[in-house]
Structure 1
Amino acid sequence: MDVLTIPPPGGPAVPPHTPRPYPLDVVQGDRVRALAATLASGAGPGAVEAFWVEAARRGTPLVEPDADGYVVTFLWRDPVAAAVLLHANRLTDFRDLGQSLMRRLPGTDVWHLSYRMPATWRASYRIGPLTEPLAAPGSPAIPDRAAWRALRAAARTDPLNRMPLRERTGRPPLSVVTLPGAPAQPWLARQRGVPRGTVTTHRVGGHVVRTYLPPGARGRDLPVVVLLDGEVWAADGRLPSTMDNLAHAGRIPPAVVLMVDSGDVPTRTRVLGCDPGFAAFLADDLLGWAADRWPVTADAARTVLAGQSLGGLTAAYAALCAPHRFGAVLCQSPSLWFPGGPAAEWLTGRYADAPARPLRWYLEVGTREWDLIGPVRRFRDVLNGRGYPLTYAEYDGGHDIACWRGSLANGLTALLREV
């Protein structure tokens, strides 16, 4: 095995959770206020029906300009729910559910919740109608983690939202809200006239691997991208169209992408928890398997290891173990709290103590990831202090595939454009 074994410390792989450090700016949207006034003046049920027709025409959430940004109004139509909970990425805090409970206009089926948000915000969300009431807004009641998982399991896709995003098979699609000043994501959608690569599915060493091959892949020493959580990226992560578009525009050279599925939650937690065996699989077995089949490079400088969340942690860990195989690391919101408890930020310490490796970096985190932005910034500072070439970015969003799938193109461009 060529990988240097760097065993992680023991301890639970449970992410920390501190309360959201700031209140949400809960307001009332103009359209909901106007409907309430219309109903108060004696209007009949036709006013409610007209409201829903307009909401369907516009798509939800409703977005209204405001002097300090935008008022974003989430809506749910339900005449029988006892409560409706908004699950918005890194806005909803299970320790403070009062600010995520939707309000019902009395005598109607209109549930609503409005936040004032800056123009740069993007997020995914689902909406959870419930048969039993929750604590009223402002109550200090806190569900335990099991209760929180049950609440999340009840959440559904917003039927009036026009940007569904299927994160994983077996779960309802996410809905996405993007405000006008959010970073553009121009490489996601398929573009007319752009040649398409192909995606095939394989099993390698017990792992499902989805392989993207660019058009005209024969006879070239192609760069390689190893991308974790492959089942997400092959679907609405839009990896194939992103690669096609970037290469066609000359932003990156054509490259092979090896998307490694992570499996169910227990399997994902195990293999993406700084596991030396999985690091060896990526560096030795997977890259060797690909080299036997396609004209891929053996140059570490042209081999990118990419991941998000626990995948980002594993990308950083495996690159530390095998810099002779991976010369570029793309980390989006890496779970640097691992493994939790007193050994938190263990991998940051390993990078601080180890000799610098020949690695180039793209590292990013969302400014709404209140538990993670501090560890990522400290990791950034360690990389800078050790002299690693680094592109660093922060975006107005959370721990969210809706953000990562757009900025993945930025990372690939930064790491592949000049190799």
Structure 2
Amino acid sequence: MKQFLSLVAVCIFSLSAWAQETVAVNTGDLISSEVKNQTVTFRLLAPEAREVWVETDFFEKSRQQTPLGEVEMAGRQRMEKGENGVWSYTVALPAPELHTYCFYVDGVRMLDPSNVYMLRDIATYMNYFLVDGALSENYFVREVPHGTVAKVWYPSPSLGMERRRMMVYTPAGYEEGTKRYPVLYLLHGAGGDENAWSELGRAVQILDNLIAQGKAEPMIVVMPNGNGAQQAVPGEYPNSMYKPSFMNPKTMEGSYEKAFPDIMNFVESHYRTINDKAHRAIAGLSMGGFHSLYISANYPDKFDYVGLFSAAINRESKGENTYIYKNLEEKLATQFAAAPKLYFIAIGNADFLYQDNVEFRQLLDRHGYKYEYAETDGGHEWRNWRKYLNNWLPKLFK
């Protein structure tokens, strides 16, 4: 029993506001977590453990060299062992956001078994909780009309697949009406999939809330799978029970960009869309920003709104689809000659792609191309991408 208890974590959050109150969960005699007087206390029952750490996205981060360059890593704090083998750590209540955490018990990473709220980022699961406030108010499910999110299969002859999957958001009232809507194509980053924006990005909650507030136009939002060799999320199509990976085949070598009209053709033939440039937008984070850049440049008559969130910019590729990435300046000249209504670039000042984005903006500046730029604190992380989406959606289709 003692060995079993050493691996039992009991820590659950119930945060709904910046309230000066105690929110506690009792497991036997143990208060497993507590929010009191603007603090959060993590507690973990592990009587036989020698060392226990808690890792969160809001602790001070460290920096680590990776094949992608120097990136920020989540911070950890050592928990203190108290009576009856209960480890604890207290910290000031973090800023309004969706916050993630996990534990390390004697070097073994573990989730909180008492918290059913989990997110998968590529191949890593994390528990999460929400702190309400001005910056995160649209990340919560509110008492507003809700849109519908469907898992939709479509044919992609350009990729040689009879079935690929994407997530499609239709605004509240779509099923009962006859109105036609503008479309946003919202693209994920490397290692992600068609679930990423709706789960990690809180895109559905953001859309529901902004539309209900009258701040964003009702729109259809298409969230495709940007891995050209996949039909869908790993595990959700035949022979796909493998571990998700950061870089997948047919992602940044032109196949996906070349095949993008397959997605648009399906959407515009199966949904009540307004099929002109003024009512189409495309945006993405990281690799999705890369895709958005080159898709919009190669199809300059398709999108009046382009959003590059922490976008990968530079790419050298070999193979039959290299034309996608060649002559970018010439393609941009054609694209900007058509005067897109909004070309938006956003990135964190600690992002490993920051300098690439500086150089890309310098290219746009040399030619006098009009764009909007937003720079935030932080690095290559979802708290920035949620913020960019929340701030960008009200600018569309005006």
**TM class by smaller structure:** 0.5 to 0.7
Q: 2:137 aligns with which of 181, 186, 198?
A: 186
Kindly provide the amino acid, as one letter, of the partner of residue 149 in structure 2: V
Deviation at 1:387, TM superposition (A): 3.6
**Residue 408, structure 1, aligned to residue 392, structure 2:** no
Deviation at 1:256, TM superposition (A): 0.9
Answer yes or no: is the 8 Å Cα contact 1:165–1:236 preserved in 2.
Answer: no
Q: 1:213 aligns with which of 128, 145, 170?
A: 170
By relative contact order (CA 8 Å, sep 6+), the higher-ranking structure is 1
Paired residue secondary structure (2:364) = helix
Change (3 A) 1:315 1:165: farther
Deviation at 1:408, TM superposition (A): 0.6
Answer yes or no: is the 8 Å Cα contact 2:62–2:73 preserved in 1.
Answer: no
Report what 2:295 is aligned to: 318
Kindly provide the amino acid, as one letter, of the partner of residue 91 in structure 1: K
Q: What root-mean-square deviation, in Å, do the aligned CA atoms of Structure 1 and Structure 2 show?
A: 4.2
Answer yes or no: is the 8 Å Cα contact 1:312–1:334 preserved in 2.
Answer: yes
Change (3 A) 1:411 1:240: same
Change (3 A) 1:242 1:105: closer
Report what 2:347 is aligned to: 365
Q: 1:172 aligns with which of 125, 130, 133?
A: 125
**Residue 255, structure 1, aligned to residue 205, structure 2:** no
Q: Map of 1:82-121 to 2, 5 A cutoff?
A: 82=51, 84=53, 86=55, 88=57, 91-94=61-64, 100=75, 102-105=77-80, 109-110=86-87, 112=89
Answer yes or no: is the 8 Å Cα contact 1:366–1:395 preserved in 2.
Answer: yes
Deviation at 1:308, TM superposition (A): 1.1
Kindly provide the amino acid, as one letter, of the partner of residue 62 in structure 2: T
TM-score (norm 1): 0.63
Deviation at 1:281, TM superposition (A): 2.3
Report what 1:395 is aligned to: 376
Change (3 A) 1:63 1:249: closer
Kindly provide the amino acid, as one letter, of the partner of residue 184 in structure 2: V
TM-score (norm 2): 0.66
My pick for the range that moved more, 252-261 or 167-176, is 167-176
Change (3 A) 1:338 1:77: farther
Answer yes or no: is the 8 Å Cα contact 1:333–1:366 preserved in 2.
Answer: yes
- Provide the C-alpha distance between the structure 1 equivalents of 2:86 and 2:178, rounded to a whole number of angstroms: 62
Q: Map of 1:51-66 to 2, 5 A cutoff?
A: 53=31, 56-58=33-35
Paired residue secondary structure (2:55) = strand
**Residue 226, structure 1, aligned to residue 185, structure 2:** yes
Q: Map of 1:238-277 to 2, 5 A cutoff?
A: 238-262=202-226, 263-264=233-234, 265=244, 269-273=248-252, 275-277=253-255
> Any stretches of 5+ residues in structure 1 without a counterpart?
1-48, 65-71, 133-153, 341-345
Answer yes or no: is the 8 Å Cα contact 2:309–2:345 preserved in 1.
Answer: yes
Paired residue secondary structure (1:376) = helix
- Provide the C-alpha distance between the structure 1 equivalents of 2:46 and 2:64, rounded to a whole number of angstroms: 23
- Provide the C-alpha distance between the structure 2 equivalents of 1:315 and 1:102, rounded to a whole number of angstroms: 38
- Provide the C-alpha distance between the structure 2 equivalents of 1:398 and 1:174, rounded to a whole number of angstroms: 20
More strand by share: 2
The percentage of counterpart residues that share the same residue type is 20
Deviation at 1:224, TM superposition (A): 0.6
Answer yes or no: is the 8 Å Cα contact 2:97–2:132 preserved in 1.
Answer: yes
Answer yes or no: is the 8 Å Cα contact 2:61–2:73 preserved in 1.
Answer: no
Change (3 A) 1:375 1:348: farther
Q: Map of 1:260-339 to 2, 5 A cutoff?
A: 260-262=224-226, 263-264=233-234, 265=244, 269-273=248-252, 275-282=253-260, 284-336=261-313, 338=315
Deviation at 1:270, TM superposition (A): 3.3
Change (3 A) 1:174 1:201: same
Describe the superposition over 1:6-29 as per-residue Cα deviations: whole angstroms up to 9, x where unpaired: xxxxxxxxxxxxxxxxxxxxxxxx
Kindly provide the amino acid, as one letter, of the partner of residue 201 in structure 1: K
Describe the superposition over 1:318-338 as per-residue Cα deviations: whole angstroms up to 9, x where unpaired: 111112222321222112365
Q: 2:104 aligns with which of 123, 129, 136?
A: 129
Answer yes or no: is the 8 Å Cα contact 1:305–1:328 preserved in 2.
Answer: yes
Kindly provide the amino acid, as one letter, of the partner of residue 359 in structure 2: R
Kindly provide the amino acid, as one letter, of the partner of residue 314 in structure 1: H
Answer yes or no: is the 8 Å Cα contact 2:41–2:88 preserved in 1.
Answer: no
More helix by share: 1
Deviation at 1:285, TM superposition (A): 1.0
Change (3 A) 1:363 1:311: same
Answer yes or no: is the 8 Å Cα contact 1:176–1:402 preserved in 2.
Answer: no
My pick for the range that moved more, 228-237 or 327-336, is 228-237
Answer yes or no: is the 8 Å Cα contact 1:224–1:258 preserved in 2.
Answer: yes
My pick for the range that moved more, 302-311 or 355-364, is 355-364
Q: Map of 1:153-164 to 2, 5 A cutoff?
A: 155-157=109-111
> Any stretches of 5+ residues in structure 2 without a counterpart?
1-26, 189-193, 227-232, 235-243, 318-323
Answer yes or no: is the 8 Å Cα contact 1:88–1:126 preserved in 2.
Answer: yes
Answer yes or no: is the 8 Å Cα contact 1:156–1:172 preserved in 2.
Answer: no
Report what 1:197 is aligned to: 147
- Provide the C-alpha distance between the structure 2 equivalents of 1:248 and 1:177, rounded to a whole number of angstroms: 21
- Provide the C-alpha distance between the structure 2 equivalents of 1:266 and 1:105, rounded to a whole number of angstroms: 35
Answer yes or no: is the 8 Å Cα contact 2:100–2:126 preserved in 1.
Answer: no
Kindly provide the amino acid, as one letter, of the partner of residue 175 in structure 1: Y
- Provide the C-alpha distance between the structure 2 equivalents of 1:58 and 1:267, rounded to a whole number of angstroms: 35
Paired residue secondary structure (1:226) = strand
